[in-house]
Amino acid sequence: MAKTPYTEPNDDGPHDTEFKTDAGSKDQSLESHRSDARGHDLRTNQGVRIADNHNSLKAGERGPTLMEDFILREKLNHFDHERIPERIVHARGAAAHGYFEAYDNAAQYSKAALFSEGGKQTPVFVRFSTVQGGRGSNDTVRDVRGFATKFYTEEGNWDLVGNDMPVFFMQDAAKFPDFVHAVKPEPHNEIPQGQSAHDTFWDFVSLFPESAHMVLWTMSDRAFPRHYRNMEGFGVHSFRLIDRQGTSRFVKFHWKPLAGTCSLIWDEAQKLWGRDPDFNRRAMWDDIENGDFLEYELGIQVVEEADEHKFDFDILDATKLIPEEQVPVTPIGKMVLNRNPDNYFAETEQVAFSPGHVVPGIDFSNDPLLQGRLFSYLDTQMLRLSGPNFHEIPINRPVCPFHNNQRDAPHRQTINKGQASYEPNSIDDGWPRQTPAAEENGGYETHHERIDAHKVRARSDSFGDHYSQARLFWNSQTEVEKEHIIAAYTFELSKVARPYIRERQIKEILPNIDPELARRVGENHGIEAPNAPTAPEGELGKSSQESSEALSLMARLPGNIKHRKVAILAADGVDAKQLDALAAKLEEGGAQAVIVTPSMAPVTASNGQSVLPDAMLNGLPSVTMDAVIVAGGDGSATRLADSGQGRYYVQEAYKHLKAIAALGEGKRLLEAAGVPTEEEGIYLGEMVEEVFDAFAKALGQHRVWSRDSRANDMPA
């Protein structure tokens, strides 16, 4: 290949290579930007000490304020500009710092430095988000969750900007603005917030069959994870990894949560909107503060270039996943999130991700959704972060040195020395110079893909199948999950005012996923659905497998009680020893015991001991807990049974399929609340040891699934 004539590479090899990352590199780089006001005087932004921070400068004590008051003007001026445009999508988010550690096998797939050797640690910053709602919306809405990771590698930043679902609503980026306009709060009244249950969303998706697969995912319980530690993450697109020999392979990225997958239940998620709108971000924050870190494995599905066309779908189509039975997920590293940000705005709000931020060894595929994203993210940061210098904001700065000839623009921080801001130059001896691509430490080189094609505004026939994987997902769900999906479509469509939109979804989309799904949702809306698919053969497509275990949330249940929160209900008369024994048992398994009492006043145990509550009944209601234990004692449960809040606590826990145990007289609370005492998932006994193991086993399954069909009979 001909070289650009003025290329003047580093003659003595690449420079800047002495720079190495470790888990703490980003923390160190942020340190010089941190500011701690303790022990300092109050001053203006120009450094002048302020003598009175309470009164503006006036002409007389009761007179008008003077323009001259530069202290007031600076303060109000700054305040008036405190907000920046929120993200058009993914506005509500929460983030954490941590590190990624490569496994021994990673280097064989990619020459990227972060994968170069087993045990190598690279700092990361991860932002989780919801998509539809504004910054002030609720955490537990039915929505996709963003899972965006910035790796601060020694070769520059790599952003893996993914979601908690492996597919997307469309195939071509050209449809993204239409989709977002349809799902966002409606333009005339800005309703509803944080929800897809409205006319414009269902109008669009019922006319847009390629969205059927992703919409089905969002109608599943995946749409409201119990905790960010309990959700999977996906890069969605096929990307490329390039190894040291220059071989390119297609990969799909997966984050597998080590704590297993589990979700909320719709009724619980809705109640949490009011009880704790910050439920997910609070849980992550608190856990990190308590040293209970979030952990994930990074995995890849690898497809050799020669196998690109061997699937019954197109791997460039983002509405398709690669079933794990066809290409297993190979773990190549682990991520630990272990540090909360110091400042929400400076870090979580100002972090700027882009799928276009890649490092040597990582490359794109021609997925037309990904290709459009490569433009959109940089463009949006220009508005959101006021110009092209957003890379200088501390959270966005690479940890490695970076020099180029880009200059000026708003808010420029760097003071570039020298006269030459162009290349080639002789004034600064040609610096900064290019680095040729190499097996390692090389400049970025795009994979040499041969493209010989007509310019067309068209879509490949191989993108024509819109339903086969929706069917695959449906077939892979357990009965309980299917019931929840039917309930979700029923609920969402019940919020659609226009009957013809409901009818279109039920008659023209759902039968193509599964006629039984269509029939059941139709029945709930008094609409008769066709009993066979209606879409043309090509759109229906064919999947070479019937179902895939990995697509069910049940495939990766936690299996133990680690990280779970268990309410222990207590009132005056409680058996204090039992409380201690319960707390010890729970903590031994890594769970958190939370003593919940009628008010925040200490309760007096049967032995006279004073017990300090962690929370009161309506302060941390059952929706914020994973399971409930009613402690025994002398009159404790009777007092709880006499209170509406006490009865409601266990009724709601029952309704949300939570494991419930009652010790000794604790049973009285269940009886008073109308909670069945003799069925799976309810554990009664006199002593902690009698019930604990069975209770813990049920909690490890996350919920008492066998109760699902009866749960809604509970009027909580």
The continuous run of DSSP H or E covering 124 comes out as strand 121-130
Q: How far apart are CA 217 and CA 480, in angstroms?
A: 15
Q: How far apart are CA 263 and CA 326, in angstroms?
A: 26
State the pairing for strand pair 615-616/610-611.
Answer: unpaired
Cis amide prior to 621 (ω within 30 degrees): no
Does the protein bind ligand HDD through residue 146 (CB under 6 A)? yes
**Among residues 92 and 229, whose Cβ is nearest to ligand HDD?**
92
Among 26, 90, 256, 433, contact with ligand HDD (rule: CB under 6 A): 90
In whole angstroms, how close is the CB of 389 to ligand HDD at the nearest point? 16
Could you say which of 97, 138, 157, 163 is catalytic?
163
**Among residues 367 and 514, whose Cβ is nearest to ligand HDD?**
367
Q: Which of 350, 342, 439 is nearest to 396 (CA)?
A: 350
Stretch of 69-77, 84-92, 185-193, 511-519 lying at the interface with ligand HDD (CB under 6 A)? 84-92
What is the separation of C-alpha 273 from the centre of its chain, rounded to a whole number of angstroms?
Answer: 17
Q: Is 127 annotated as a binding residue?
A: yes
Burial classification of residue 18, based on how many CB atoms lie within 10 Å of its CB (0-12 exposed, 13-18 middle, 19 or more buried): exposed
Stretch of 75-83, 155-163, 546-554, 669-677 lying at the interface with ligand HDD (CB under 6 A)? 155-163
Binding mask 172-191 for ligand HDD (x = CB under 6 A): -x--x---------------
Q: Which residues contact 99 (CB under 8 A, 6 or more apart)?
A: 23, 121, 122, 123, 124, 335, 336, 338
Q: Please give the structure tokens belonging to residue 120.
A: 């190598």
Does the protein bind ligand HDD through residue 667 (CB under 6 A)? no
Stretch of 85-93, 221-229, 661-669, 675-683 lying at the interface with ligand HDD (CB under 6 A)? 85-93
> Between 176-183 and 199-206, two packed helices, what is the crossing angle to 10 degrees?
140
Among 93, 277, 333, 541, contact with ligand HDD (rule: CB under 6 A): 93
In whole angstroms, how close is the CB of 65 to ligand HDD at the nearest point? 39
Number of residues that bind ligand HDD (CB under 6 A): 26
Q: Please give the structure tokens belonging to residue 623.
A: 């929706």
Among 99, 103, 158, 168, contact with ligand HDD (rule: CB under 6 A): 168
**Among residues 165 and 637, whose Cβ is nearest to ligand HDD?**
165
Q: Are 496 and 199 in contact (CB under 8 A)?
A: yes
In whole angstroms, how close is the CB of 318 to ligand HDD at the nearest point? 5
Does the protein bind ligand HDD through residue 162 (CB under 6 A)? yes
**Among residues 142 and 271, whose Cβ is nearest to ligand HDD?**
142
Active site residue 447: no
- Letter for the amino acid at 352? A
Q: Please give the structure tokens belonging to residue 269.
A: 């998620």
Q: Is 87 annotated as a binding residue?
A: yes
Of all residues in this chain, which one has the CB nearest to ligand HDD in the complex?
146
The continuous run of DSSP H or E covering 708 comes out as helix 708-711
In whole angstroms, how close is the CB of 552 to ligand HDD at the nearest point? 21
In whole angstroms, how close is the CB of 506 to ligand HDD at the nearest point? 27
Q: Are 627 and 695 in contact (CB under 8 A)?
A: yes
Q: What residues does 593 pair with on adjacent strands?
A: 566
**Among residues 127 and 222, whose Cβ is nearest to ligand HDD?**
127
Binding mask 226-245 for ligand HDD (x = CB under 6 A): ----------xx--------
Q: Is 377 annotated as a binding residue?
A: yes
Stretch of 46-54, 83-91, 385-393, 698-706 lying at the interface with ligand HDD (CB under 6 A)? 83-91
Does the protein bind ligand HDD through residue 129 (CB under 6 A)? yes
Q: How far apart are CA 666 and CA 384, in angstroms?
A: 55
Name the phi and psi angles at 599, rounded to 5.
-140, 180
Could you say which of 90, 227, 254, 484 is catalytic?
90
| 316-335: contacts with ligand HDD (CB under 6 A) | 318
Sheet containing strand 615-616, edge to edge, reads 615-616, 592-597, 565-569, 627-630, 659-663, 682-685
Neighbours of 199 (CB within 10 A): 15
Among 57, 88, 382, 711, contact with ligand HDD (rule: CB under 6 A): 88
Cis amide prior to 558 (ω within 30 degrees): no
Q: Is 226 annotated as a binding residue?
A: no
Q: Which residues contact 426 (CB under 8 A, 6 or more apart)?
A: none
In whole angstroms, how close is the CB of 299 to ligand HDD at the nearest point? 16
In whole angstroms, how close is the CB of 86 to ligand HDD at the nearest point? 9
Distance separating the N- and C-terminal Cα atoms of the chain: 72
**Among residues 398 and 664, whose Cβ is nearest to ligand HDD?**
398
Q: How far is CA 471 from CA 71, 236, 539, in A?
A: 64, 19, 12
Among 114, 124, 148, 699, contact with ligand HDD (rule: CB under 6 A): 148
Cis amide prior to 331 (ω within 30 degrees): no
Q: How far apart are CA 481 and CA 657, in angstroms?
A: 13
**Among residues 252 and 433, whose Cβ is nearest to ligand HDD?**
252
Stretch of 86-94, 503-511, 593-601, 678-686 lying at the interface with ligand HDD (CB under 6 A)? 86-94
Among 127, 647, 655, 658, contact with ligand HDD (rule: CB under 6 A): 127
In whole angstroms, how close is the CB of 53 to ligand HDD at the nearest point? 35
Q: How far apart are CA 319 and CA 326, in angstroms?
A: 17
SS3 for 354-404 is: CCCCCCCCEECCCCHHHHHHHHHHHHHHHHHCCCCCHHHCHHHCCCCCCCC
In whole angstroms, how close is the CB of 505 to ligand HDD at the nearest point? 23
Binding mask 351-390 for ligand HDD (x = CB under 6 A): x-x---------------x--xx--xx--x----------
**Among residues 134 and 442, whose Cβ is nearest to ligand HDD?**
134
Q: Could you give the residue ranges of the DSSP H alpha helices within 529-634? A: 537-540, 576-588
**Among residues 88 and 554, whose Cβ is nearest to ligand HDD?**
88
Stretch of 60-68, 159-167, 627-635, 649-657 lying at the interface with ligand HDD (CB under 6 A)? 159-167
> Between 368-384 and 176-183, two packed helices, what is the crossing angle to 10 degrees?
60
Among 26, 87, 222, 339, contact with ligand HDD (rule: CB under 6 A): 87
Active site residue 512: no
In whole angstroms, how close is the CB of 533 to ligand HDD at the nearest point? 27
Task: Give the CA count within 13 Å in the CB-facing half-sphere of 697.
Answer: 8
Does the protein bind ligand HDD through residue 163 (CB under 6 A)? yes
Q: Are 95 and 339 in contact (CB under 8 A)?
A: no
Q: How far apart are CA 481 and CA 222, in angstroms?
A: 10
- Letter for the amino acid at 141? V
In whole angstroms, how close is the CB of 317 to ligand HDD at the nearest point? 11
Residues belonging to the binding site are 87, 127, 176, 373, 377, 384
Residues that bind ligand HDD (CB under 6 A): 87-90, 93, 127, 129, 146, 148, 161-163, 168, 173, 176, 236-237, 318, 351, 353, 369, 372-373, 376-377, 380
Residues belonging to the binding site for heme are 87, 127, 176, 373, 377, 384
* Residues that are catalytic: 90, 163
